[in-house]
A and B are shown apart, each in its own frame.
Chain A
Amino acid sequence: MNKARQNPLNTAAMHGALILYTLIALFPVFVIIINSFKTRRSIFREPLALPDAESFSLIGYQTVMKQGDFFLYFQNSLIVTVVSLAFVLLFGAMAAFALSEYKFKGNTLMGLYLALGIMIPIRIGTVAILEMMVATGLVNTLWALILVYTAQGLPLAVFILSEFMRQVSDDLKNAGRVDGLSEYTIFFRLVLPLVRPAMATVAVFNMIPIWNDLWFPLILAPAEETKTLTLGSQVFIGQFVTDWNAVLSALSMAILPVLVLYVIFSRQLIRGITSGAVK
């Protein structure tokens, strides 16, 4: 064990720094949550005070529940995020495996082409995407969003995963081939478990922007039945009047599913690291 790590002073300093960072990072979230439980007047009078008997109010949550079909928005957001992530991980990992494992003409070019997407924001192509979606009749469906987010997530996923897959031992893959495993089995059973930490990283990187995105839902799927949570919350923000109780309540609730997904992935991340320790 490292001596510096055992020194209580160092440990205290390290934890102090980490706790401070956690406090700073969590502070805005904390403010949103406490204010979502307060009356409109006390939100503005004392934004940092905890809700007490006088200022406590569930009016925000009630408004959110009444206005629009909030659970449908929730469901839409969840479907779009989870399905897009699944596609990004599946296709990203497959492309990464092909790029890192097989020698074929144009391999490097293909890798560069796929990595190009990291540098060019997908929103530049919004008009073309919209035209395409109109032509294929996908406007106002969740598929429109899923397809766009999959395309948006793939470049980074391929880039990160192919780097990790290059590190998976060739001997292991060859042992599988000698034992008669198909390339798919080698990919799913041998390689994927070993790059799980990278998969979790890619998942977390992609999850937040998809969940929070307002742009594409607004353009591609603004219909009532396909609204996502972020888009749905916008009804409370008006040009002249904003219903802060409702906005804060909606945001507080929107945090929950991301939190759950994050916990799942971070667990995978830790498990991945420990299982990857096998030589």
Chain B
Amino acid sequence: MTALTLTNVNKSFGTVEVLKDISIEVEDGEFVVFVGPSGCGKSTLLRVIAGLEDVTSGEVRIGGELMNLTPPSKRGIAMVFQSYALYPHLNVRKNMSLALKQEGQSKQVIEERVAKASKMLNLEPYIDRYPSELSGGQRQRVAIGRAIVREPKLFLFDEPLSNLDAALRMNTRLEIANLHQQLDASMIYVTHDQTEAMTLADKIVVLRDGRVEQVGSPMELYNNPANQFVAGFLGAPSMNFFPASVIGDSADTTLGIRPEDLYLTDDGPLTANVTHVEHLGGDTNVIAMMQGHQITARLFGQHDVNTGEAVRLAYVQDRTYSFDRKGTRLS
């Protein structure tokens, strides 16, 4: 069964079209990540699914039922917000149980579910504290707990990690991945961070300017991007693009090579001047200028390359991508 089906969803604010003809399916138990640069409409799409915004046209079905006009609380969804959005006047326990009380669940059920969720998220020591007495990571866990206790058909995450620092972000990312396994629920996760998208998703939806650019598993999108935008958006450092004329092909096509497919060799076809070197220990990123185009090579291990040096680069022949002028993938 499908957890969520969007059919030709459009949304405009006044004359501004924010979402254009979006059709997506989310299977039961699937972890889907909406990813795209800021302003691409991914958060709006999530709010449309949640029922916080109405669609201008199109259909939103959750668990097979048409939900276009159903209020958020009746959609069987739970949402985790970027700013946590905890109720400042309620303690952790009450923050988590409020929605259940509104649903009219019995006290026993409420207690059971809150206990289960707080155990799962290690929130037991803080259960009687107020949000102001918690750290950022703890607050985000409470926000996730508030979603879990409702046992929804569909979880919605709106950039839940962007307010956390780097170390905490990685931990919480793992926690969310674990949760997904334990709960076996469908989840939709919005982020602008391609690392989060790649690590968490069963399926990634890449959005740009309110349109779906490509849908697929992380590796599908990485290995087989439909266009230049998707190719450049996924992967870090991002893909190198330069006109094919550099290697003697038509100037109308753009060539794309991933940084890890470039390697240093004495008789490589590309010559470049090193402008910057990033030694990361495990990897070395070499940033160089090649006939006025910046390219990045990601070399495995540690390499002794110096700034200002001229290097010759070669690339894996069958790992190149070419795009036409509009950015559509040619081969």
Contacts and interface: CB of A to CB of B under 8 A. Distances in A.
**Size bracket of the B interface:** 20 to 34
Contacts of B88: 193-194, 275, 278
B81 A171 contact: yes
A193 B82 contact: no
A17 interface: no
A179 B98 contact: yes
B83 interface: yes
Interface string A148-192: 000000000000000000000101101111111100000001100
Contacts of B89: 189, 193, 275
A279 B130 CA distance: 12
Contact of B79 (A174, A181, A278, A279): A174
B87 interface: yes
Interface stretch (B69-77, B109-117, B187-195, B248-256): B69-77
B50 interface: yes
Given A177-B73, A178-B78, A279 B83 contact: yes
B77 A178 contact: yes
Given A180-B73, A180-B103, A181-B102, A174 B131 contact: no
A178 B131 CA distance: 19
Nearest to B143: A175
B145 to A, nearest CB: 13
A177 B89 CA distance: 17
A277 interface: yes
Interface in A217-260: none
B87 A178 contact: no
B132 interface: yes
Contacts of B78: 178
Given A171-B158, A279-B84, 6 more contacts: A175-B79, A179-B73, A180-B102, A278-B88, A278-B130, A279-B131
Interface of B: 47, 50-52, 71-74, 77-79, 81-89, 98-99, 102-103, 130-132, 146, 158
